[in-house]
């Protein structure tokens, strides 16, 4: 489909600078865009591409200062990144998706399936499962007994959801994720063996949660592992048993939370951040990539870095010293040699 710059600006309530009748039929990165495409600029690192891009239309922030001539038609909006995301969502909504039950799937007679649901080939849906309306379950998915899946949720290929787990409305679970596997519970015995502790709880995902590909969320030993509304977990993240993740917290790839830790709302964690068990993280905390959080953080909106993690401004000061460590060691050795030489001369 083609859209004019004016149509896009009207939808976004933006201001046009340039030709309102120019048409686009695709989207692209600003540095790779070709004529007929729409791009956006929000990261200052890419500012120079605005003056060289071949894109026909570019979304920019309303406060952006244009320094020289631009060939593309510009649409000024309060937040170019959010506006571009809105356009992508609109394009996605225009796509058509399969509905109905494919013949090779297996669905228990006691399962309740809502309206306008798609179940792909080789999917398995167990006893007493409840699936809401407009749900899409892609091929080779396993849905265990007594699972509940809310309206509008999407379960991509190869996902495994163990028994008794609960998914809210409009959740998205990407390929290969495992929801509700046993928590890592083993009691050491006198003979150095380990006795497995039964994991009889479940996992609860509230509304609008998105789980990345090959992520794992363990069921609780007792009670529930809870992922609150709006949480976004990246690929290959791991959430251990009895963890609670607060609303609208986001976590990048390969991060892991050990058992019984409580994460606040509106937190942001970079890739490979690790959390010790049985700690509490306050609302709004941010952790840089590869941080190791070994103890509770009680101060809201704190930014931490390092392993063990501590306040980022203190870490950065420490890192300046760390980078100079070889030079400092050399200076100390030179001083030691000078002192030895002075003592030798005194004798």
Instruction: Find out whether 295 and 276 touch, Cβ atoms under 8 Å.
Output: yes
Compute the distance between CA of residue 261 and CA of residue 165 in angstroms, rounded to an integer: 19
Compute the distance between CA of residue 229 and CA of residue 207 in angstroms, rounded to an integer: 5
Q: What's the Cα-to-Cα distance from 130 to each of 100, 190, 204, 223, 229, rounded to whole Å?
A: 16, 44, 14, 20, 20
pLDDT at 118: 97
CATH of domain 100-314: 2.160.10.10
Identical fold, 3-93 and 100-314: no
Architecture in CATH for domain 3-93: 3-Layer(aba) Sandwich (3.40)
What letters, b where the CB count within 10 A reaches 16 and e where it falls short, cover 79-116?
ebeebbeebeeeeeeeeeeeeebeeebebeeebebeee
In the block, residue with structure tokens 């990345």: 212
Q: List the one residue out of 232, 257, 230, 234 whose CA is nearest residue 244.
A: 257
Q: H-type helices in the chain, by residue range?
A: 5-12, 80-93, 312-323, 325-346
Task: Provide the residue ranges of all domains of the chain, joining segments of one domain with +.
Answer: 3-93, 100-314, 322-346
pLDDT at 184: 93
Residues 6+ apart with CB under 8 A from 142: 123, 124, 159, 160, 161
Asked if 241 is an active-site residue, the reply is yes
pLDDT at 36: 95
- Six-digit token pair at 222? 């007792």
Q: How confident is the chain (347 residues) per 10-residue block, as mean pLDDT?
A: 91 94 94 95 94 96 92 95 90 79 95 96 97 97 98 97 98 98 93 94 98 98 97 98 98 97 98 97 97 96 92 86 86 89 80
Q: What's the Cα-to-Cα distance from 230 to each of 31, 69, 247, 268, 271, rounded to whole Å?
A: 32, 41, 6, 13, 19
Residues 6+ apart with CB under 8 A from 158: 140, 141, 175, 176
Catalytic residue among 174, 238, 241, 278: 241
pLDDT at 77: 96
Mapped to the 3 state alphabet, what secondary structure does 255-297 carry? CEECCCCEECCCCEECCCCEECCCCEECCCCEECCCCEECCCE
pLDDT at 145: 98
């Amino acid at each position: 489909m083609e859209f004019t710059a004016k149509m896009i600006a009207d939808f976004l309530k933006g201001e046009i600078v340039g030709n309102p009748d120019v048409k686009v039929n695709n989207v692209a990165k600003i540095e790779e865009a070709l004529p007929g495409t729409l791009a956006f600029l929000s990261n200052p690192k890419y500012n120079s591409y605005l003056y060289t891009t071949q894109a026909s239309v570019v979304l920019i922030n309303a406060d952006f200062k244009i320094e020289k001539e631009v060939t593309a038609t510009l649409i000024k909006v309060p937040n170019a990144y959010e506006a571009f995301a809105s356009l992508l969502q609109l394009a996605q909504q225009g796509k058509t998706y399969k509905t109905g039950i494919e013949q090779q799937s297996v669905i228990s007679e006691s399962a309740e399936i809502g309206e306008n649901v798609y179940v792909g080939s080789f999917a398995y849906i167990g006893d007493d499962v409840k699936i809401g309306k407009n749900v899409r379950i892609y091929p080779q998915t396993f849905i265990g007994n007594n699972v509940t899946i809310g309206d509008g949720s999407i379960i991509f290929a190869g996902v495994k959801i163990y028994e008794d787990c609960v998914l809210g409305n409009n959740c998205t679970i990407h390929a290969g994720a495992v929801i509700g596997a046993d928590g890592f519970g083993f009691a050491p015995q006198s003979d150095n063996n380990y006795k497995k502790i039964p994991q009889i709880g479940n996992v609860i995902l509230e509304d609008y949660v998105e789980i990345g590909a090959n992520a794992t969320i363990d069921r609780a030993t007792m009670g529930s592992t809870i992922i609150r509304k709006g949480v976004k977990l990246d690929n290959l993240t791991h959430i251990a048993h009895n963890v609670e993740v607060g609303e609208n917290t986001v976590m990048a790839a390969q991060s892991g939370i050990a058992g019984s830790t409580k994460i606040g709302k509106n937190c942001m964690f970079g890739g490979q951040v690790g959390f010790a068990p049985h700690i509490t993280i306050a609302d709004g905390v941010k952790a840089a990539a590869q941080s190791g959080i070994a103890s509770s953080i009680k101060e809201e909106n704190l930014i931490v870095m390092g392993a063990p993690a501590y306040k980022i401004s203190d870490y950065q000061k420490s890192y300046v010293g760390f980078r100079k460590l070889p030079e400092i060691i050399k200076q100390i050795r030179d001083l030691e040699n000078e002192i030895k030489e002075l003592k030798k001369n005194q004798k």
